Amino acid sequence: MTYEIRTWPDKILKQKMKEVDFFDEKLKEYIDIMFKRMYEEEGVGLAANQIGIPYQILVLDTGVKKYEAQEEMEEEPIKMALINPKIVKKEGQIESTEGCLSFPGVQITIPRAEKVVVEAKDTEGKDITLDAEGFLAIVLQHEIDHLNGIPFINYLPPVKKRMVLEKYMKSRKKELAKAK
């Protein structure tokens, strides 16, 4: 399998992923592949379904310099893999300008919680709880949404969502035509 980045409207991006019930070499292999693909694409986070892996796995590295939001935050870079992550608490609200590897060329501003509490498992299957705020909280929300089949465009009002999707699909058709 090539593990290419899946772009909208690929159906896997619209589905809730299966929970991981294996903590073995296959899981470690998936995580290694995910980090490799994320770095190749200069992403900050990656959900497993974005490369066709149908499980609740996400990887992130807030040290990848790409977005203005990172520059504004004075946080230590965090690199991690989370298994079966769930947001159990949200606090506050901020506006977040985000891009997405599955929507190349699209950047939108949407509301996000300022702080989140996430429960997950680590790569060994141990339960962990993560209190996150700022940029890390935004990345976690974005990637956990992916694992639940919720693209970031769903946070836009219907008219704006339609406009963004129309523009995106038009640009994708042009790119695909050039590639042929």
The residue extents of the domains of the chain are 11-153
pLDDT, mean of residues 74-79:
77
Distant-in-sequence, close-in-space partners of 125: CB < 8 Å, separation ≥ 6: 23, 83
Determine if the pTM surpasses 0.75: yes
Quickly state the pLDDT bin for 75 (edges 50, 70, 90).
low
Here the tokens at position 96 are 């977040």
Please tell me the distance from the alpha carbon of residue 114 to that of residue 112, in angstroms, as a whole number: 6
Assigned architecture for domain 11-153: Alpha-Beta Complex (3.90)
Which residue, among 56, 39, 159, 141, has the nearest Cα to 98 in the 3D structure?
A: 141
Phi first, then psi: give them for residue 112, nearest 5 degrees: -140, 160
Contact 141, 89 (CB under 8 A): no
Question: Is it the case that residue 31 has pLDDT exceeding 70?
Answer: yes
Percentages (nearest 5) of helix, strand, coil residues in the chain: 40, 25, 35
Indicate which residues carry an active-site annotation. 143
Please tell me the distance from the alpha carbon of residue 180 to that of residue 94, in angstroms, as a whole number: 41
For the chain, what is the radius of gyration of the CA atoms?
16
pLDDT, mean of residues 35-57:
97
pLDDT, mean of residues 98-108:
95
Question: Is it the case that residue 108 has pLDDT exceeding 50?
Answer: yes
Strands 107-112 and 94-99: antiparallel
